[in-house]
A and B are shown apart, each in its own frame.
Chain A
């Protein structure tokens, strides 16, 4: 098992955080993990991104030229990384902010209105959790229990936030599983 995932969005959308949660979940599952932020000359209003690698073996490069998965929370992120995703990979698109679907037909595309779903779950800030859930649900990259556990640990000081984030995560998982199944059936 070797998976590279790029997570991207505007600064403030929490892509670095869900990247860390994914890496921690991988650690809980006993895998080797790396988390690498892009720290280059990024443009204000452009994309902020990180790469997470989960593997059964020691990880070589923590940077990905051709990821297996992409979580795009805004349009510049989808524009920038869509073509790089490996055939057969998974792309999660936040349709609350992105007015198009992936053009690629050789990947599993998961479209989630992450912001709206997050508001329904109790906080617009949990849009990142919806997207993370959608990716986990569609790809099965790591067991959901590990993700739930690390979310609970990360927000342990604020039980209300655990509740909201868990709800958002699970809504995302359901959307991801559903769309992955439809995609596989096609």
Chain B
């Protein structure tokens, strides 16, 4: 298929279709409305169903039902809507159901604003809903990568029977870039889900549930989930190392859109004789902390940048374990840092003020 210029939101919608997903349940919110808009027209063309639910709470429970019946399904929203879905996400994690969630982040807390942000990192990565569970979280930094990761998110959700969250921001959702869809999966070609509630003809009934009233049973269930998260950490940690051959003066750590801005800053720094590189986590849970720690050993200064007041910063500091100074530069509220702001921060760190 030839490359097409698509908005991030449209590419995410089409990626879901190409992944064999035929069901979308959601509720509108800026800046991701183009995802449901796209799918409301696209899904009927492929025999799928688009449902605008009465609320995000309802949408996440519809996903529970559809996933329990063995169907690939997904939703998209932005911070305030994702907060409302947390009850469903917790139940989906508890019942071990594969569902893909997309959060096109906007500034918060509360209603906040509609402009780009990365302020839902902690919500996505550290839980969000109640109980001892994790979502597998992926963070694309180009429209092409958003399309690729959404397709893959469905496979990972099935592989682990776990919710997968794709975390983008308003820029990712609204920006157009060339994109191509590298593979097409038909729903009928997907591996069977023998655990799904598909009608118990000729077999014992399957039960999809998150209730375990016996403490022994619930404890065993929790440890089973924990083992699953361990398995994710072993098999599905991902990152991009950019300009990180040998030693660097400044190691940028950033994900998503901010990582792109860091790359421009790193090019400018190179022209000024400062060697800088980028470590970009692609999976935010599991976090590629071991790889980061290794790279940090070859770095003099570490600069974390986010569209938040410092959320992923906590994970970076956790993995660096005090072995290097970790500085932070963030913009919030929908304000975006320029490459020049990052260059200035990096120059300060290497002791070249006022350049």
Contacts and interface: CB of A to CB of B under 8 A. Distances in A.
Partners in one complex: yes
B53 interface: no
A63 B31 contact: no
Given A24-B5, A36-B171, A40-B114, A61 B176 contact: no
Given A33-B177, A34-B175, A59 B336 contact: no
Contacts of B338: 61, 65
A24 B175 CA distance: 14
Nearest to A31: B178
Chain A interface size, under 10 / 10 to 19 / 20 to 34 / 35 or more: 20 to 34
Given A23-B5, A27-B5, A62 B175 contact: yes
Interface stretch (B14-22, B205-213, B260-268): B260-268
B339 A60 contact: yes
Given A33-B5, A35-B175, A40-B334, A61 B264 contact: yes
Interface string A40-67: 1100000000000000011111110100
A39 B30 CA distance: 9
Interface in A63-92: 63, 65
Chain B interface size, under 10 / 10 to 19 / 20 to 34 / 35 or more: 20 to 34
A37 interface: yes
A61 B174 contact: no
Nearest to A59: B260
Q: Which of A24, A34, A57, A61 has the most CB of B within 10 A?
A: A61
A41 B107 CA distance: 13
Interface in A7-43: 20, 23-24, 27, 33-37, 39-41
B176 A23 contact: yes
Contact of A40 (B5, B115, B178, B257): B115
Contacts of B334: 40
A164 to B, nearest CB: 23
Nearest to B334: A40
Contacts of A59: 260
B263 to A, nearest CB: 5
A32 to B, nearest CB: 8
A37 B339 CA distance: 19
A68 to B, nearest CB: 15
Given A33-B5, A34-B175, A39 B261 contact: no
Interface string B174-192: 1111100000000000000
Contacts of B286: none
A41 B339 CA distance: 24
Nearest to A64: B338
A132 to B, nearest CB: 16
A39 to B, nearest CB: 5
Interface in B280-301: none
B114 A36 contact: no
Contacts of A37: 174
Interface string B150-181: 00000000000000000000110011111000
A20 B178 CA distance: 11
Contacts of B114: 39-41
A62 B30 CA distance: 19
Contact of B264 (A23, A35, A60): A60
Contacts of A20: 5, 176
A123 B30 CA distance: 34
A114 B178 CA distance: 30
B204 interface: no
Nearest to A16: B176
A41 B334 CA distance: 11
13 contacts: A27-B3, A27-B5, A34-B177, A35-B175, A35-B177, A39-B31, A57-B267, A58-B142, A58-B263, A61-B257, A61-B336, A61-B339, A62-B260
Top 3 A-B residue pairs of the complex, sorted by shortest distance between their CB atoms: A60-B264, A35-B176, A60-B260
